[in-house]
């Protein structure tokens, strides 16, 4: 891990089932710390990181120019409840979120919409991970 990465984020990222070439969707990326770390771990893969905050996306883009220019990382302003794939997007292998109210039980109605949008963005065998485990837990999408 690079300097400036919190232990919480480092533990979470190191526990994700990452490998070369994966397509990863980060929900609630904040300033992009985890997205940048993951882009380093998946080689020629791709990370799309979203956040509802315009300021967070602005900070993430400013700190990620090298990764963005390489084509391995993109940031978009969107909540997961509003998120839709665009025509050029491919489906994702893995989605993850840390401290996102729609996925941690704080907002059940938003959670239903979030899960629906995540399912539509993932490949059939795609997986969703959230914080709240040790350090993460997987949400089964087949049962939702």
* In a domain? residue 144: no
Q: Is residue 99 part of a domain?
A: yes
Residues 12-53: tens digit of each pLDDT: 999 999 999 999 999 999 999 999 999 999 999 999 999 999
- CA angle centred on 57, ends 54 and 62, rounded to 5°: 125
In a domain? residue 83: yes
Residue 2 included in any domain: no
Q: What is the pLDDT of residues 102-114, one digit of tens each?
A: 888 788 889 999 9
Identify whether 125 is part of a domain. Answer: yes
Domains of the chain: total: 1
Range(s) of the domain holding residue 44: 7-139
Residue 1 lies in a domain: no
104 located within any domain: yes
Residue 30 sits in a domain of what CATH number? 3.40.50.150
For residue 126, count CB atoms less than 10 angstroms from its CB and return exposed for 0-12, middle for 13-18, buried for 19 or more: middle
**Alpha helices of 16-107 — where are they, by DSSP H?**
33-41, 54-62, 65-69
Mean model confidence pLDDT for the chain: 93
pLDDT over 90 for what percent of the chain?
78
d(CA 116, CA 99): 19
Mean predicted confidence (pLDDT) in 65-91:
95
Q: In the prediction, which pLDDT does 76 show?
A: 98
């Amino acid at each position: 891990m690079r300097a400036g990465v919190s232990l919480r984020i480092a533990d979470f990222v190191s526990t994700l089932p990452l490998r070369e070439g994966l397509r990863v969707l980060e929900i609630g990326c904040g300033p992009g710390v985890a997205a940048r770390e993951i882009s380093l771990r998946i080689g020629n893969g791709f990370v799309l990181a979203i956040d509802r905050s315009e300021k967070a996306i602005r900070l993430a883009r400013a700190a990620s120019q090298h990764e963005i220019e390489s084509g391995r990382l993109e940031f978009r302003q969107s909540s997961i409840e509003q998120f839709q794939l665009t025509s050029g997007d491919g489906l994702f292998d893995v989605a993850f979120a840390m401290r996102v109210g729609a996925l941690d039980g704080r907002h059940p109605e938003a959670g239903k919409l979030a899960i629906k949008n995540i399912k539509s963005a993932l490949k059939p065998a795609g997986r969703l991970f959230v914080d709240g485990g040790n350090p993460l837990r997987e949400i089964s999408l087949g049962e939702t």
